[in-house]
Amino acid sequence: MDTLLLARLQFAATASVHFLFVAVTLGLVTLLVGLQTAWVVTGNPRWERLTRFWGQLYVINYVLGIATGIVMEFQFGLNWSGLSRYVGNVFGAPLAIETLVAFFLESTFLGMWIFGWHRLRRGVHLALLYGVALTAYASAFWIMVANSWLQNPVGYEVRDGVAHLTDFSALLTNPALGMALGHVVSAALLTGGLLMAGISAWHLLRRTPDHDLFRTSLRIGVVTATLAISLVQGFGFAQFGPVLSVQPTKFGGTSPEAEALIAEWSARFGPGDYLPPTLANVGLGFMILIGLGLGLLWLLLPLLWRDWIIRLRFPLWLLMLAVPLPFVALILGWISREVGRQPWVAYGLLPVDQAVSPISGWLMAVSLIGFTLLLGTLAVTNWVLLARHAARGTADPALGRPPAQPAADDSRPEPAFA
C-alpha cells in the first residue's frame, strides 16, 4: 500500500472535519460575545436566554473541534516526521506558539465559562468569554501563519539539508498570509451567521414558542452573514494576486513564471511532474459560484424592515436551504489551497514524498481507517445532537441552568448534590 497516498488522505479527511467544526466555533463565539455583552450591559434576561441557547450549540460543536484538532496535531509527528526533521525549526515555532498562546488559555477559559454560570460575577463570566473568543482568533492567526509558511516558505536558510529560522518577522508578513487570514475569518463569520439565521428561520417557520427570541437571532444572523459575505468576496478576489505571485504553478494554466520555476525545480530536484492536479481548480470554481450566489443575501437585508422577511416566509426557506453552502465552500477552498501546492509540503522546498514517515503501508492504513471511522462517527453523532438541541428551543438548555432547578431531562435528582 502506498504510505504517502494514505497519509495524504488521512490529513485531508481529518483537516476537513476539523475545519467544518472550527469555522462554526469561530463564527458563533463572535456572535456569543455580542449576546452576552448585551445581557451584562442591559441586564435583560432575554439576552441571557439567547446566550444560553446559542452557547449550548456552540459548546456541543466545540467538542469535535477539540477531538479532531488533537488528531491534527499528532498527525505531524505520526505521519509526517520528515516535516519536523527538515523544516521543524521554522514550521514548528508558530505551532508551538499557537498551543501555548491560544489553546491552553482557550480551554482553561472555556471550562470556567461553562461551569461559571451562577457562580462567578457577571463581569468575570463575560470576561472569560472574551478570553475564549480572543484566543480562538489567536489560534486562527497562528495556524494560518504556519499554513502560509508551507504555501510560501520565508525567513529561513538551509544548512546541512535542514531549514533554520533566520527572520521570524518574515513569517508574519508572508504575502500568502494576510488575505488568506481575512478570507478564512470572514468565511467563519459567514458560516456562523448563516447557521444562526437558518436555525432561527426554522423555528419561525414552525411557529414554535419564543417567536420573539428567534426573531432577534434571525436578524443578528442575517446581518452578520450579509456583511461577512462581502468580506469573503473581497478577501477572496484579493487572494489571487499574492497567491499567483508566490505560487505561479497553482491554478493551472502555463505562465512564463510557472515554466521558469518548473525548469528551476527540474534542475534542482530532478525532472518530475510539478503541476498540481486539475481537481483543485474545479473546486475553486464551485466555491466562487457559491460565494457569488450568497452575495444575494444583500437582497434579504431590506426585508428586515417591518419583519417582511418573516411575513413573506419564503426568505426563511431560502435561509434554511443556504445553511450547507458555506460548509461546502469551506472544504472546496481548502482543497484548492492544499492540493494546489502539490507535490510540495513546503512549496519549492520539501516534496511530499520526503516528508512522509517511513511507516509501513498497512499501519498507515489502519490509522487512516480507524481515525476516519472514529472521527466520522463522532462528527455525525455531534451533528445529530446539534440538530436535536437546535430543535428543542430556548426553554431549558443545560448550559447555565441554575443549580437549584431540577433538570428537566433527568428523572432523578443527583444524590451527590442532594
Partner 1 sequence: MELAWYALLGLFFAGYLVLGGYDYGVGLLLARGADPARRRAALNAVGPFFLGNEVWLVAAVGILFGAFPLLEGELLAGSYPAVLGALAGVILVTAGVQLRSRPASRWARAGWDRAITVGSLLAALGWGTVLAGLLQGVPLHADGHVAGVAHLFTPFAAATALAVVALVAAHGAAFLALRLPATEGDRLRPLARRLIVVAIIAVAAAAAVGLLSDRVRGAAQRPAVGVLLGVSLVAALLLARAALGRRRHGVAFAATAAALALPVVLVGATLWPYVLVSTVDPAASLTVADAAASAPTLRLLGWLALPLLPALLGFQAMCWWIFRGRTDSRAPVYW
The 10 Å CB-count burial string (b at 16+, else e) for 129-145 is bebbbbbbbbbbbbbbb
> From the list 48, 98, 210, 338, which residue makes contact with partner 1 (rule: CB under 8 A)?
98
Instruction: For residue 14, give the nearest of 92, 80, 85, 73 by alpha carbon.
Output: 73
CB distance 54 to 196 below 8 Å: yes
> What does the block give as the cell for 290?
457559491
Q: Alpha carbon of 157 to those of 16, 341, 365: distances in Å?
A: 32, 21, 35
Handedness of CA 241, 247, 252, 258 (dihedral sign): positive
Select the span of 19-27, 89-97, 221-229, 265-273 touching partner 1 (CB under 8 A): 89-97
Residue identified by cell 463565539 is: 29
Scan residues 378-417 and list those touching ligand HEM (CB under 6 A).
Answer: none
Q: Which residues are within 8 A (CB) of 26 and not within 5 positions of it... i.e. 6 or more apart? A: 136, 137, 140, 185, 188, 189, 192
Distance CA 345, CA 352 (A): 5
Question: Which one of residues 126, 136, 197, 213 is an interface residue with ligand HEM (CB under 6 A)?
Answer: 136
Q: What part of residues 11-50 is at the interface with ligand HDD (CB under 6 A)?
A: none
| Distance in angstroms (rounded) separating the CA atoms of residues 50 and 70 | 30
The 3-state DSSP class for residue 414 equals coil
In the list ligand HDD, ligand HEM, partner 1, none, the entry touching 222 (Cβ below 5 to 8 angstroms by class) is none
Taking CB atoms within 8 Å and a gap of at least 24, the contacts of 67-73 are 67/375, 67/378, 68/14, 68/17, 68/18, 68/21, 68/375, 68/379, 69/18, 69/22, 69/103, 71/14, 71/18, 71/371, 71/375, 72/14, 72/15, 72/18, 73/99
CB of 291 to ligand HDD, least distance (A): 2
Considering only 81, 84, 107, 372, the residue that binds ligand HEM (CB under 6 A) is: 107
Q: How many residues does the chain have?
A: 418
As a whole number of angstroms, the distance between CA 378 and CA 261 comes to 43
Write down the least CB distance from residue 130 to partner 1, Å: 13
Backbone angles phi, psi at 255, to 5 degrees: -105, 165
Contact 146, 94 (CB under 8 A): yes
Does position 233 interact with ligand HDD (CB under 6 A)? The reply is yes
For ligand HEM, which residue of 33, 40, 72, 127 counts as binding (CB under 6 A)?
72
Stretch that binds partner 1, among 43-51, 178-186, 227-235, 407-415 (CB under 8 A): 407-415
Cβ at position 323, least distance to ligand HEM in Å? 18
Instruction: Based on the shown chain and the rule CB under 6 A, indicate whether residue 287 belongs to the binding site for ligand HEM.
Output: no
C-alpha cell at 396: 431549558
287 contact, one of partner 1, ligand HEM, ligand HDD, none, CB 5-8 Å limit per kind: ligand HDD
Q: Whose Cβ is closer to partner 1: residue 147's or residue 239's?
A: 147
371 binds ligand HEM (CB under 6 A): no
Q: Is 193 in the site for ligand HDD (CB under 6 A)?
A: no
Of 11, 21, 117, 202, which one interacts with partner 1 (CB under 8 A)?
Answer: 117
The residues, any chain, with a CB within 8 Å of residue 404's CB and separated by 6 or more, are: none
Among 28, 90, 146, 349, binds ligand HEM (CB under 6 A): 146
Site string for ligand HEM, 343-362 (x = CB under 6 A): --x------x----------
Q: Is 5 an interacting residue with respect to partner 1 (CB under 8 A)?
A: no
Residue 413 C-beta: closest distance to partner 1, Å: 8
Piece in contact with ligand HEM (CB under 6 A), picked from 34-42, 50-58, 132-140, 290-298: 132-140
CB 87 within 8 A of CB 346: yes
Q: Does 404 bind partner 1 (CB under 8 A)?
A: yes
Q: How far is C-alpha 242 from the chain's CA centre? A: 22
The partner in contact with residue 139, picked from partner 1, ligand HEM, ligand HDD, none with C-beta cut-offs of 5 to 8 angstroms by kind, is: ligand HEM
Binding status of residue 248 toward ligand HDD by CB under 6 A = no
Using rule CB under 6 A, residue 150 touches ligand HDD: no
Q: Which of 48, 114, 310 is nearest to 201 (CA)?
A: 310
Interface mask (CB under 8 A) for partner 1, residues 136-165, using x and -?
Answer: --------------------------x-xx
- Report the interface residues with ligand HDD, using CB under 6 A: 151, 180, 183-184, 187, 190-191, 232-233, 236-237, 239-240, 243, 250, 287-288, 290-292, 294, 326, 329-330, 333-334, 336-337, 340
- Report the interface residues with ligand HEM, using CB under 6 A: 8, 11-12, 15-16, 18-19, 21-22, 25-26, 62, 65-66, 69-70, 72-73, 80, 83, 103, 106-107, 136, 139-140, 143-144, 146-147, 150, 184, 331, 334-335, 338-339, 342, 345, 352
